[in-house]
């Protein structure tokens, strides 16, 4: 217990030292906001507020410490219709593998598909007939470890790539997290995660080159390269609590709450619940709000309700941890027609 408390205090001190959160004056100044998007359906159904209780491969997006609480091997694939009506989709794949008794390695890939976008110019604002599609891609490698079955910690190193045919930017980010479990039936959980702390990014490439007449009047044109401004990553601190209420041996009802401190936008507060029947069928819902007085057009796209459901089917009578899972989530949005997440999971 003393070791657990020391780890929690050290982690909290690290976060307080590295993160300045809840600054609405800096809203919109960061980039790579796809790092805040959640492709996984199970946690999306809880509005990405399950910092304390998230587990398995999907924890690589919110609190990597939860990766340590898988059985042996887990594979998770996901597809999401992002802001229905925009034509944008999210696709993700993750794998977790236990190494030894208390450690787990993980890997996750996420990509955005924007479809084909018409190329327009000043002379041809209706389109030139050509099309392009931006490539937003990130890959993360993770490690998580459990101490005395009460405290788990984890870290993720992530590479971020954004590019078009003639422009590109690349950066690195680090996520870290901790989860603490206590109670007679391990029913009280506490979690902290720090996400997207890393390098500045800046675009470069031939797309920044322009041609200008030579200043000496020779009639030749010179190719000049513009210098793009750099941007920070959208760092965020999450602090969450959850409590499991078990009754009639086959039912679990979990209450959870979460506070998110954002470096480049307003802080957020969320609460939700999850109901599980024999851990086979699960229902969940959450509500999230932004703190502070804001104008309607300044509000985050994700505020209000989210909901989801899961079905986990045992694949073996001998080993109940061998399961096939199907998850769905819907998140209401201030604009467009919401986001739909679908996930498919195999646990061995």
Widest pairwise Cα distance in the chain:
89
Strand partners, 281: 277, 311
Helices and strands in the chain: count of H runs, count of E runs: 2, 18
> Is 128 part of a structural domain of the chain?
yes
Q: Is residue 331 a part of any domain in this protein?
A: no
Q: What percent of the chain has pLDDT over 90?
A: 62
**How would residue 27 be classed by pLDDT, with cut points 50, 70 and 90?**
low
Q: How far, rounded to the nearest angstrom, does the alpha carbon of residue 11 sit from its chain's CA centroid? A: 20
How many domains would you assign to the chain? Answer: 1
Determine, yes or no, domain membership for 316: no
Tens of pLDDT along 296-320? 666 778 878 999 999 999 887 777 7
- The whole-angstrom distance between residue 181's C-alpha and the CA centroid of its chain comes to 22
Asked if residue 300 belongs to a domain, the reply is no
In whole angstroms, what is the distance from residue 108 CA to residue 65 CA? Answer: 14
**CA-closest candidate to residue 286, choices 326, 257, 312:** 257
- The pLDDT-based confidence of 29 (bands split at 50, 70, 90) is confident
Tens digit of pLDDT for each residue in 126-179?
A: 888 888 889 999 999 999 999 987 899 999 999 999 999 889 999 999 999 999
Give 272-298 pLDDT, tens digit per residue: 999 999 999 999 999 999 887 666 666
Percent of the chain topping pLDDT 70 = 89
Residues 6+ apart with CB under 8 A from 250: 277, 278
- Residue 132: domain span: 2-246+256-269
On whether the CB atoms of residues 256 and 274 are closer than 8 A, the answer is: yes
Burial class (CB within 10 angstroms; exposed 0-12, middle 13-18, buried 19+) of 316: exposed
Does 286 map to a domain?
Answer: no
Is 182 inside any structural domain? yes
Spell out where 59-150 has E strands: 73-82, 88-99, 103-113, 117-118, 131-132, 135-147
Q: Count other C-beta atoms under 10 Å from residue 7's C-beta.
A: 17
* For residues 78-101, average pLDDT: 95
CA distance 71 to 315: 14
Exposed / middle / buried, residue 328 (Cβ in 10 Å: 0-12, 13-18, 19+): middle
Q: Residue 172: helix, strand or coil by DSSP? A: strand
Residue 321 lies in a domain: no
Asked, for residue 174, whether it belongs to a domain, the answer is yes
DSSP state letter for 231: B
């Amino acid at each position: 217990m003393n070791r657990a408390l020391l780890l929690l205090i050290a982690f909290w001190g690290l976060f307080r030292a590295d993160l300045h959160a809840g600054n609405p004056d800096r809203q919109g100044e960061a980039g790579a906001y796809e790092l805040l998007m959640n492709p996984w359906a199970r946690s999306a159904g809880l509005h990405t507020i399950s910092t304390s209780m998230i587990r398995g491969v999907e924890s690589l997006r919110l609190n990597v410490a939860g990766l340590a609480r898988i059985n042996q091997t887990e594979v998770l694939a996901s597809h999401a219709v992002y802001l229905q009506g925009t034509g944008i989709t999210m696709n993700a794949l993750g794998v977790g593998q236990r190494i030894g008794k208390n450690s787990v390695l993980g890997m996750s890939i996420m990509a955005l598909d924007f479809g084909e976008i018409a190329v327009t110019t000043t002379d041809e604002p209706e389109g030139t007939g050509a099309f392009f599609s931006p490539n937003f891609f990130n890959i993360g490698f993770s490690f998580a470890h459990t101490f005395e079955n009460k405290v788990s910690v984890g870290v993720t190193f992530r590479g971020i790539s954004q590019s078009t045919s003639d422009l590109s930017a690349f950066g690195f980010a680090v996520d870290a997290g901790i989860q603490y479990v206590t109670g007679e039936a391990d029913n009280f959980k506490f979690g902290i995660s720090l996400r997207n702390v890393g390098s500045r990014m800046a675009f470069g490439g031939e797309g920044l080159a322009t041609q200008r007449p030579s200043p000496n009047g020779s009639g030749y044109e010179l190719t000049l390269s513009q210098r793009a401004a750099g941007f920070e990553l959208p760092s965020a601190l999450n602090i969450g609590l959850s409590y499991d209420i078990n009754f009639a041996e086959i039912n679990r009802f979990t209450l959870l709450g979460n506070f998110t401190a954002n470096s480049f936008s307003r802080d957020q507060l969320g609460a939700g619940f999850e109901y599980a029947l024999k851990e086979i069928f699960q229902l969940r819902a959450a509500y999230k709000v932004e703190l502070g007085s804001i104008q309607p057009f300044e509000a985050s796209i994700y505020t209000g309700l989210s909901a989801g459901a899961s079905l986990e089917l045992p694949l073996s009578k001998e080993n109940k941890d061998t399961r096939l899972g199907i998850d769905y989530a819907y998140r209401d949005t201030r604009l467009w027609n919401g986001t739909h997440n679908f996930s498919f999971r195999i646990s061995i």
